[in-house]
A and B are shown apart, each in its own frame.
Chain A
Amino acid sequence: GENVEQHPSTLSVQEGDSAVIKCTYSDSASNYFPWYKQELGKRPQLIIDIRSNVGEKKDQRIAVTLNKTAKHFSLHITETQPEDSAVYFCAASMGGNEKLTFGTGTRLTIIP
């Protein structure tokens, strides 16, 4: 089955700087890659996703890149703010209502 690895497990960034979180996946059939943000005690919230027919997607301060050949994808957050502090999870699936396989999470702390 699919295996998703995520790095780093913790990340501290000065406010205003950029943060990058990286994930690799094992199953070349995966074609849908969402990123979720989870604050303490809250539900995972979808912040951005990418499908295998594109290499990059941006939404304001958040961007995701995908390299299908290398089987890795990354989350980029620019101009970080204190409210970006949370745990971020990457995931992969084969799309079309298939299950998500999650990475182990990255605890991002923004230092004011």
Chain B
Amino acid sequence: NAGVMQNPRHLVRRRGQEARLRCSPMKGHSHVYWYRQLPEEGLKFMVYLQKENIIDESGMPKERFSAEFPKEGPSILRIQQVVRGDSAAYFCASSPSRGFSTDTQYFGPGTRLTVL
């Protein structure tokens, strides 16, 4: 059973470019969460999605950031016009929708975004 997959693992962008981060949840999981980790800091919640729906985006910056989880394919976190402050590790997590452990989140390996 493959774990949460994220790609790319490393992404380098110049200021003003767009960054697209992809996340495939564990098999059988339909809930996806995105977290951001700045260097030497903890993880901060950004957005929670189910298939075709954004459930909670209370942690998303108001501008330049968007997320989607289409009916087919991975969840995508999109950052437009990146700035140096966007440099961070972006982790995706997934959880099951049924059973006792719906609150347990399993993390992917992360995408490390560097903005030059």
Contacts and interface: CB of A to CB of B under 8 A. Distances in A.
A42 B3 CA distance: 14
B102 A43 contact: no
Contacts of B41: 104-105
A98 B44 CA distance: 14
Interface size class on chain B is 20 to 34
Contacts of A104: 41-42
Nearest to B109: A43
Interface size class on chain A is 20 to 34
A25 interface: no
Interface in B74-116: 91, 93, 95, 97, 102-110
A102 B109 CA distance: 18
A32 B58 CA distance: 20
A100 B97 CA distance: 16
Nearest to A6: B42
A60 interface: no
A97 B31 contact: yes
Given A43-B108, A99-B33, A99-B48, A89 B42 contact: yes
B33 to A, nearest CB: 6
A32 B103 contact: yes
